[in-house]
Structure 1
Amino acid sequence: MTNLLQEPKPRTRRGRGAPGRLGAAVLAVGLLMTAFNLRIGVASISPVLSDIQADLGLSEVVVSLLTTIPVVAFGAFAFVAPALSRRLGLHRLLGATMIALAAGIALRLQPGLASLFIGTVVIGASIAIANVVMPAAIKRDFSHRVGLMTGLYSTALSAGAALASGATVPLLSAVGGGWRPTLALWSIPALVAFLVLLPQLRRTPVRDPRTHAVADAPSDAGEPSVRALTRDPVAIAVTALMGLQSMSYYAALTWVPTLLQDAGTDAHTAGWMLSYSAFPAIAASLVTPALARRARPTWFPVAVAVVLTGAAFVGLAAAPTSAVYVWMTMLGLGQGASLSLSLTYIVRRSPDARHTGHVSMMAQGFGYLLAGLGPIGLGALHTATRGWSVPLMALIGLLVLQMWAGALASRERHVLAGQKPATGR
């Protein structure tokens, strides 16, 4: 599998319209707009799960598939991103994912259960590929601003989730109460991202006269062994952290609005509270990478994130409505910091760009496959126990494993340390 973060080789000739400062600024906006869309297709579902369940007569386990399927797709389709990036190039592939994402979201407008689930698969596949390609594009185009762009990347993810979670219920009223047209409206931001990227996509790619490779397609020369990475304790720890924090995030994203409604909160307020939690998440995403670089012991930021998330789950189990702003603030801070740490360790535990691409693919591929168990598992526990205390305690138990994985991932060492560079799979 090709490495997505391979540094570009020197070009022998320039393509049409090579970007200057303005072009670089437009490209940065396009990449961040793309990142902004990478949670909307999932986050917009959660506030209307009850409407979908009532309208289609679905069980809690079946309706939870609407948020589980995309997360599983994040993992499954991550492994096809390298081949596609080699064929299309990084920027054109990102543009294609935005078109596919808009189409998948719009497909939910069609009547019938099949279109809803097919659209959900398309959404998950599009986001999965963009998830893997985004770090590569940032590394390639903004190698001198990787830290800043990574922080803005994770912030854009949280901002998209916040808007989708908070605005879906108000949009529901604006379009006459139909959940299908409400969800279809969220295809618009993906189309906007494509339009912002369009100047970059229209630029004729430079091809190597010998290989005919697309200019911004990553090289597979000198890539590390995938088999060796799957046996490396550092890579495993980074992958486990990504998977466990994602499992917690998507389980909460799916079911916290329903939990609050079951406790007596109206649908509008429940959706707003989930949206509100993204604001502290944005703040945590921005500052965590810098704090983690200076923190001693290195596991301290991981512990803070875990404690905040655990306290939020305890509060939601014991008194979900009496101090809901406190619980959702803690949840946002904890989950925002956890996501930012996961993305940061993918880069920092890799000795060079060649390794970073494969660590990213491994962490997001296997990590999201693990995370897909969260929403459906929480829904099954809720159905079995007819309450939210046991499901929330299960999430707290997973935080213990997250702490362990994060502590290992935080150690200042590289994947495959001491091993000779290897190629192959």
Structure 2
Amino acid sequence: MSVGERARAAVPVLSPVLIVAGLLLVAGNLRAGITTVGPVLAEIRDDLGLSSVAASALVSLPLLAFAVVSPFAPRLARALGLERSLALALAVLAVGLVLRSLPAIAALWGGTALIGVAIAVLNVILPALVKRDFPTRIGQITGAYSVVQAAFAALAAGIAVPVAGLSAVGWRLPLGMWAVLALIALAVLAPQLRRRTVVPEGQDDVSLATGAVAARSLRSPWRSALGWQVTAFMGLQSVGFYVFITWLPSIETASGISQEAAGWHQLFLNGFGIVGSIACSFLIPRFRDQRLLAAAAPSLIVVAVLGVLFAPGLSGVWDSIAGVAGGASIVLALSFFGLRTTHHAQAAALSGMAQSVGYLVAAAGPIAVGALHDATGSWTGPLLVLIGVQLVLICFGLLAGRAKVLG
């Protein structure tokens, strides 16, 4: 019996319902702590005296953590095992969420950094757990946890302002309350901690590096124009999404929309992302290539931005359109990792490259928009720049969407 077979034989048998419940609860933690910030960002700025650049850096900090930590998450999984790595990340997430809600400004920054580190680990390891426990239902389970992730992201954004008005602590309550969800997920995951599944390097979806054999026979995405086109698409589509979740409530309140309505519009943005994700997943296999989809999604963002500029009273409509486009864009970007490669190791390498570089690009977006707003005193310039980013994204989408592989 091989080492892998002995390890699998030693794994306790758990109810599939319990395992799925744990997965879905972990998925619920992936974005709620991030999307809750945008609707109360103006209140945070006023309370702490933050500039637009500092406020946008606060939202971008988890993205920087994604870029830096993601390549190291597989090492943690190999050292501790999948289950214990997830548990550790959930514990760190709960600490970060509570820390972020404390009065000291240093706690706000330190807690936000911990949140980014924890979610980066969860992002990388959760798909491997799906592959191990549901190898014949990867698509269904991944789709289910993607919907749960988006649903909690939408809920967190929608209720942030109402919850902030419930007590004297204001914005600190919605920023910290999601620690409860992390602890619930940890409790449901606890029975699985008796397991210690260690995934060999280069033989799983967790590994972000090709093995020695693959490295000799497969083209590295770092040396491929197509690899950089996919990476550019990943990064630029993320810019639009994170600019919206960071600044759209502030943009809308500046145009006369109430803070509470702007918060509910964030729910539309994230909720309609589910529609876009499902639609894109359905359409991808029905086209010979993905150029049309890659151009259509950013085109919808352009429509939404123009709507916010010239008809802000209909911001709920524009936010919904942007949500559909954002949901489609991220599904397409993630699909490119498999569609543009010939081997799972090469796909993992492209994923690591695109997500590391892409999240660095995405982190710069909200900061640049905030700085431009501070310099001009208007949201018109930043929104026009965002339109320009979408036009560039269309160009890279037409390139990355071609039916080609790295080789």
Tell me the TM-score normalised to structure 2 length: 0.91
For 1:3, the equivalent position in structure 2 comes to none
Following TM superposition, by how much is the alpha carbon of 1:146 offset from its aligned partner in structure 2, in angstroms? 2.7
Structure 2: where are the runs of 5+ without partners? none
Tell me the residue number matched to 2:58: 66
Q: Distance in 2 between matches of 1:263 and 1:9?
A: 63
Which has the larger helix fraction? Answer: 2
TM-superposed CA distance for 1:55, in Å, is 1.1
2: CA distance, partners of 1:220 / 1:26: 33
Which residue of 2 is the match for residue 31 of structure 1? 23
Residue 313 (str. 1) matches residue 269 (str. 2): no
2:328 paired residue number: 337
1:15 is matched with which residue: 4, 10, 19? 10
- Name the counterpart of 1:375: 366
Distance 1:79-1:217 versus aligned 2 partners, 3 A rule:
closer
In structure 2, the residue matched to 1:115 is 107
Give the CA deviation at 1:94: 1.8
Q: Among 26, 32, 35, which residue is 1:43 paired with?
A: 35
CA change 1:220–1:300 in 2 (3 A) is: closer
- Partner residue in 2 for 1:156: 148
- Contact kept? 1:175, 1:182, Cα under 8 Å: no
Of residues 218, 234, 248 in structure 2, which corresponds to 1:242? 234
- Deviation per CA, 1:133-154: give whole Å up to 9, x if none: 2333333333322333333343
User: Among 141, 144, 151, which residue is 2:136 paired with?
Assistant: 144
The Cα of 1:243 is off from its aligned counterpart by 0.9
The SS at the match of 2:220 is helix
Q: How far did 1:238 drift?
A: 2.1
Q: Which residue of structure 2 aligns with residue 257 of structure 1?
A: 249
Work out the CA distance in 2 between the residues paired with 1:329 and 1:295. 25
CA distance in 1, matches of 2:329, 2:206: 31
Contact 2:289 2:402 in 1 (8 A): no
Looking at structure 2, the residues matched to 118 and 409 of structure 1 have their Cα atoms a distance apart, in angstroms, of 37
Deviation at 1:121, TM superposition (A): 0.6
1:30 corresponds to which letter in structure 2? G
Once the two structures are superposed, the pairs formed by residues 162-173 of structure 1 within 5 Å of their partners are: 162-173=154-165
1:101-151 superposed Cα distances (whole Å, 9 cap, x missing partner): 111011023221101000011111111222222333333333322333333
Return the match for 1:280 from 241, 262, 272: 272
Q: Per the alignment, in what secondary structure is the counterpart of residue 144 of structure 1? A: coil
SS in 2 for 1:143: coil
TM-score where L is the length of structure 1: 0.87
- The verdict on how the C-alpha distance between 1:193 and 1:346 changes in structure 2, with shifts beyond 3 A counting, is farther
Q: Which amino acid aligns with 1:130?
A: L
SS state at 2:10 partner: coil
Q: 1:175 corresponds to which residue?
A: 167
| Distance (Å, rounded) in 1 between the aligned partners of 2:267 and 2:403 | 35
| Partner of residue 88, structure 2 | 96
Distance 1:9 1:234 in 2: 38
Work out the number of aligned pairs and report it. 400
User: For residues 197 and 121 of structure 2, what CA distance do their matches in structure 1 show?
Assistant: 20
* Pairwise CA distance, 1:241: 1.5
Residue identity matched to 2:335:
T
Counterparts of 2:340 and 2:33, CA distance in 1: 30
Cα RMSD over matched residues? 2.6
Partners of 1:241 and 1:299 in 2: how far apart?
A: 12
For each residue in 1:303-325, what CA deviation from the matched residue of structure 2 results, as whole angstroms up to 9, or x when unmatched? 2211111100111111212x222
Q: Which moved more, 1:198-207 or 1:303-312?
A: 198-207
